[in-house]
Amino acid sequence: MKYTKLGNADLKVSRICLGCMGFGDSGRGQHSWTLDEAHSREIIQCALELGVNFYDTAIAYQSGTSEQYLGRALRDYAKRDEVVVATKFLPRTPQEIENGISGQQHIENMLNTSLKNLGMDYVDLYIYHMWDWNTPIEDILEGLHNVVKAGKARYIGISNCFAWQLAKANAIAEKEGFAKFVSVQGHYNLIFREEEREMLPYCEEENIAVTPYSALASGRLSRLPGAQTKRAAEDTYAKFKYDATEQQDNVIIKRVAELAEKHGVTMTEISLAWLLTHATAPVVGATKMKHIEEAVGAAEFVLPGDEIAYLEEPYIPHALAGVMAQNKPSEANQKHVWSTGDQKIGGSEDE
């Protein structure tokens, strides 16, 4: 496994981050295809053995059970100071706003719940999951700075934002003496490259780590067009993100398959090898042992420049989808694609 520094943070991370959205109680969240604890532990243990030290989860994933599975597995299979754990918090709920819960108190409540789920005293990276239009960014930044000062989070990151939002937030943080965002986790892969317009150049200029999610486009970049899996059949969110552009995306996916056959590797390895030329550490989900094995293999595979260009050439601009399509003031009071489910947030209501 290859390792790198996470932007401006003093964190050494594997070039592959294991995304834990696929772990958790399938009856308690957005997804029906998630793995139970026993199978989740097998994959986490395998990832550790292969040198993966970077793990990404969220309180929103299956109502906190993803955090619980990850925390218990890492406690049994790893030393705490040898892994980098990231989790995320959601925007304030309408009920919290009505009850006068500030952004700062909300962040403290959310992180306390996540730490309890993980069974940890701190997280290495605490991520602002999506822009909260109902809460001033100054309130968010001060709340995040407070948890960093308290030692509950070592660094902070952001997800699902525009480059201008990240630039604005870090400018305010610098002015106020608050902790700055050291990483950004956006929707980025070979068939969805809108982050290249402004986000990637900005991050390169500011040395902000890029840790994209949907690295394999919910599996579309790891299999031939038309191939079906249980997740492909049941993941309505992924269908929402990709079905409208299927025809144009398939041109690229077929080129991935062509290069995989040429090199005698998997489509996963080709797709991630391309992404690794643009990103610090892609967040890669795994629901089978081979998924993490292939992802780790990609970190060792180098695509020649002409093949990178060959993969990129057919791309056609895409409309925003999913969380980013909702990142605007008119959507502020609508329900996001991620919701808290039955996860109780804050204070004495913690599970």
Residue with tokens 């595979």: 301
Other C-beta atoms closer than 10 Å to the C-beta of 305 total: 8
36 in the Ramachandran plot: left (φ > 0), alpha (ψ -120 to 50) or beta?
beta
Side-chain half-sphere of 293: how many Cα atoms within 13 Å?
7
CB 349 within 8 Å of CB 287? no
Q: Which residues contact 70 (CB under 8 A, 6 or more apart)?
A: 20, 23, 40, 44, 55, 57, 85, 118
Side-chain half-sphere of 25: how many Cα atoms within 13 Å?
13
Catalytic residue (choose from 61, 188, 202, 242): 61
Q: Which of 77, 81, 59 is nearest to 68 (CA)?
A: 59
Q: Which of 112, 130, 132 is nearest to 121 (CA)?
A: 112
7 in the Ramachandran plot: left (φ > 0), alpha (ψ -120 to 50) or beta?
left
Residue type, 85: V
Per DSSP (E only), the strands in the chain are: 3-5, 12-14, 17-19, 54-56, 84-89, 123-128, 153-159, 181-185, 209-210, 283-285
Active site residue 310: no
Q: Which of 155, 85, 83, 68 is nearest to 119 (CA)?
A: 68
Q: Provide the annotated active-site residues.
A: 61
